Amino acid sequence: MEAERYVNGRKTRIALLIFTVVIVTLFHFLVPTTPHTYHKLHIVLRKLYFLPPVMAAAWFGLRGAALTTAVISMAFIAHALVDWPGNYMEQANQLGELAGFWVVGLVPGWLFDRRRALMESLARANEETLLALVSALDMREKNTRLHSQRVREYTLLLADRFGIAEGERRAIALGALLHDVGKIAVSDRVLLKPAGLTEDEWREMRRHPWEGYRLLRRIGFLREAAEIVYAHHEHFDGTGYPRGLIGEEIPLGARLFMVADVFDALTSERPYHKAMGYEQAACVIREKGGSHFDPAVVNAFEAIPPEKWEKVRKRFADVNGDAPVL
């Protein structure tokens, strides 16, 4: 769905760019150079040729700008060959404009490419830092490195059934990835206790959605993700924690995450249970629709073919092959 939106946006921009080039070229060819009043209008409208190279630079970078500038240069030169001015000042002016098209196309094109590359490397650095953090937390508690990444991918599979806008999708992905970040505040004694937590220990454990929210809400680009972290243990029927939210009071991202997280828990090998197959896990999820889970999310879960879940599970399977043998 994301790819589809990208393609549609790209097509619209290409159409708009072609439209602008055609309109400007028509102005240039159809507005005559005599009498003098028309010539003034002709020269003013000709300046619109500067627009397509800048549009192409902003939307498509250096290559797009070079291609667009080549097209308008050909149109510009064709007109000059048909109606070459006798006045040497006007000749110099036209040659100057032609050179100007290339400057306003190529320089911003290069700058936009550079800016895009910097933004991408910044986003990669952010992503890698977050992945290192959640992998460390997963290792500490579950002795698996990829639990949070798997859950993020499962949550996105579900999100794509709801036609969510790109910004919200990104927040949901971050919320799913960082869901248990608040466990940093839970002591090892409680977090790693195999079973039988006392009431006080449960109270400490149940603080982790709030602790995660408290950590993330101050970070600008994680503010929306923080809401999902805060609500990731709420149940659709209001029996969850920490606030006992009911139904749509729970953010959609958290309702999607709950199904993804339980699916991952059921289909992963843990010390206290063996990994279930898809069918058995789907049965458990179906049973909890309307109580733990939003029924609409359960429907979305069932509409996704089992192979897609399996593909994610395999891609993010924990393997210890890269660990040194001591």
Active site residues: 183
Given the structure tokens 């949901």, which residue do they identify? 172
Structure tokens at 67: 């291609």
Q: Nearest residue by C-beta to Fe ion?
A: 180
Q: How many residues bind Fe ion (CB under 5 A)?
A: 1
Task: Fill in the amino acid letter for 214.
Answer: R
Q: Nearest approach, Cβ of 146 to Fe ion (angstroms)?
A: 16
Under rule CB under 5 A, residue 227 binds Fe ion: no
CB of 232 to Fe ion, least distance (A): 6
* C-beta separation of 267 from 275 below 8 A: yes
Question: Is residue 261 a contact point for Fe ion (CB under 5 A)?
Answer: no
Measured from the CB atom, the residue of 28 and 147 that comes closer to Fe ion is 147
Residue 52 or 212: which CB sits closer to Fe ion?
212
Least distance from C-beta 266 to Fe ion, angstroms? 16
For residues 180 and 264, which CB has a smaller minimum distance to Fe ion in the complex? 180
Binding mask 169-188 for Fe ion (x = CB under 5 A): -----------x--------
Task: Kindly state the helix (H) or strand (E) to which residue 24 belongs, with its residue range.
Answer: helix 2-30
Nearest-approach distance from CB 262 to Fe ion, in angstroms: 11
* Buried b or exposed e, range 240-269, using 16+ CB within 10 angstroms: bbeeebeeeebbbbbbbbbbbbbbbbbbbe
To Fe ion, the closest distance from the beta carbon of 125 in angstroms equals: 26
Please give the span between the terminal C-alpha atoms of the chain, in angstroms, as a whole number. 46
Residue 202 CA to residue 72 CA, distance in Å, equals 70
The amino acid present at 275, given as its one-letter code, is A
Cβ proximity to Fe ion: between 141 and 160 the closer is: 141
Q: In terms of CB distance, is 111 or 184 closer to Fe ion? A: 184
Check the CA dihedral 183-184-190-193 and report its sign.
positive
- Partnered with residue 255 across adjacent β-strands are none
CB closer to Fe ion out of 153 and 180: 180
Look-up: residue for tokens 């958290």? Answer: 254
> Please, which contacts does 68-73 make with residues 24 or more away whose CB atoms are closer than 8 Å?
68/17, 68/21, 68/105, 69/101, 69/102, 69/105, 69/106, 71/21, 72/21, 72/24, 72/25, 72/101, 73/98, 73/101, 73/102
Least Å distance, CB 272 to Fe ion, is: 17
Residue 288 neighbours by CB under 8 Å, 6+ apart: 262, 298
φ, ψ dihedrals at 273, nearest 5°: -160, 160
In the complex, what is the shortest distance from the CB of residue 155 to Fe ion, in angstroms, rounded to a whole number?
A: 13
Among residues 57 and 258, whose Cβ is nearest to Fe ion?
A: 258
Q: Which residues bind Fe ion (CB under 5 A)?
A: 180
